[in-house]
Each structure stands twice: as C-alpha cells, then as structure tokens.
Structure 1
Amino acid sequence: MQKITTFLMFEGKAEEAMNYYTSLFEDSEITSISRYGANEAGKEGTVIQATFSIKGQEFMCIDSYVKHEFSFTPSISLYVTCDTEEEIDRLFESLSQGGGVLMPLEAYPFSKKFCWIVDKFGVSWQLTLLS
C-alpha cells in the first residue's frame, strides 16, 4: 500500500470548498485541479479531480455529475487540534457559519474547549484545544 488519502465528493462545489478550506488554515494550498470541458460527462468547469493540502495532510475531491441518495455524514469527521483559544474560536465561527453545531464550543471532560460542527458543504469537523 502506498498511501491513504481522504476523498471528498461534492456536487458542483468542490472548488469553492477547496478555496474555503485553504483560506482558513495556514500552510494550505490547492495542489492540482482538472475540470470538465465542453461535451464531457460533468458540467463544464466543474472539478473532475483535484487535490489540496491542509497543514501537510492531503485531500482529494471531485464534483460528482451523478446525483446520489447520500452525502456527507457526521460519523466521519476531520479532527483538528488547535494551539490557541483564538484559533479554535476563529475556526468555530468560520466553519459553523452556514452549517450546524452538533456539540457547542465549550469545556468537556475530555477537552477544556471542544466542538463538533458541520460546515456549509456538509463536512463534519471536530475542533479541540490542545491542553
């Protein structure tokens, strides 16, 4: 086995999501992107396949041209360990905007500050403050 990469399937919002995520985290970038052209299976300009990285963690994503009966679910989430209260507060505000809060940002027995949220694209995030 060579490696394991997190794969995210969107429906027409892959590029918007990548731009959003890479704007929120330092040391993040879109590393490759290929788009559908005219007369191809997907809508012209949407993402056939792309990769981006957040803090060295690589992600792959696509825009599915097939409508599915499923989407993202909170049973899989991206877990982020934050160094400062300012960082966790900023990420909570940004990522929860237009999404939803599954567990509010507060103290829990397992973390002095933690939250579990779903962003505007349906991706789940767990944020915790490094103690």
Structure 2
Amino acid sequence: MTSMTPFVMFQDGKGEAALDFYVATIPDSRLVAIDRFGPGDPGPEGTIKRAHAIIAGQAVMVHDSFVTHGFDFTPSFSFFVDCGDEAEFDRLAAALSDGGQVLMPPGDYGWSRKFAWLSDRFGVSWQVNLA
C-alpha cells in the first residue's frame, strides 16, 4: 500500500516547540510518537529525529534537521484549516499569527465569508477559513 504524509522539517531544534504549540492550539491535535536523536546520532541529542502527530485530524511528520539548509518554509505550501464558527476562526487566526506574519488579513475575498493566510512564529504557513 502506498501512503502519503506531510513532512515538516524544522531547523535549529524548533520542531518540539512547534508541535507543542500546534497540539495546544489547534483542536483535534495530538502527538502520536516521537523519536529523538541520542548520543552518537548525527543530530543534536534530544532533538526530533522523527515525530508523528495529528494536527486538526491530519497526520503529519516532523523532523529537526541537523543539516543547515539554505532554505526554510515558503508560503507556497500551507495547511488549510476550515473552522466551523467565527469565534474559532478568530482564535486560530490570532494564535497562529502571533509572533508570525499576516500574509492576507482576515476578510471576505469572495470565496469565503472569512479567510486569512498566515505564517506562524516557526515560519509555517496556514490558511484559515470560515467554512
């Protein structure tokens, strides 16, 4: 069987802080399993070798890269979150943009009553939509 899972690579050991934030902030989110680099592994001890999480019901893998890359996250990949009510939309849009960047402020863009595109403090992009 072939399967696919979004894979999110963090640099500078930010993966665990990001996972903690997502699990605490986004409904239907939890950490499933985490495997850390240990003594003698190539990555800094204690950082994430591979983690499996559920974020808003979506399976996601997370990794802390020990290799410094000349690239990071780009808004061309984002997580699209449908919110069932306006209060949840407002809460998520505020939380996800706190310390990050608002790429498209909350508003009616014609395809939704309320939509926002944000980059969180870890550089991950989120589209938040009032369904």
Structures share a fold, TM > 0.5? yes
> Unpaired segments of 5 or more residues in structure 2?
none
Percent sequence identity over matched residues?
48
Deviation at 1:81, TM superposition (A): 0.6
Deviation at 1:89, TM superposition (A): 0.3
> Unpaired segments of 5 or more residues in structure 1?
none
Deviation at 1:56, TM superposition (A): 2.4
Root-mean-square deviation (CA, aligned residues, Å) is 0.9
Following TM superposition, where does structure 1 have runs of at least 4 consecutive aligned residues deviating by more than 4 angstroms?
A: none
Which 10-residue stretch deviates more, 101-110 or 57-66? 101-110
Cα shift readout 1:72-96 (whole Å, capped 9, x = no counterpart): 1000110011101100100011000
User: Which residue of the partner structure matches residue 114 of structure 2?
Assistant: 113
* Inter-partner Cα distance in structure 2 for 1:55 and 1:126: 13
User: Which residue of the partner structure matches residue 23 of structure 1?
Assistant: 24
Cα shift readout 1:37-56 (whole Å, capped 9, x = no counterpart): 12321111000000100232
2:21 aligns to what SS in structure 1? Answer: helix
Q: When the two structures are aligned, how many residues end up with a matched partner?
A: 130
Deviation at 1:27, TM superposition (A): 2.0
Cα shift readout 1:17-48 (whole Å, capped 9, x = no counterpart): 11110111222110010111123211110000
Deviation at 1:5, TM superposition (A): 0.3
TM-score (norm 1): 0.95
Would you say 1:13 and 2:17 are equivalent positions?
no
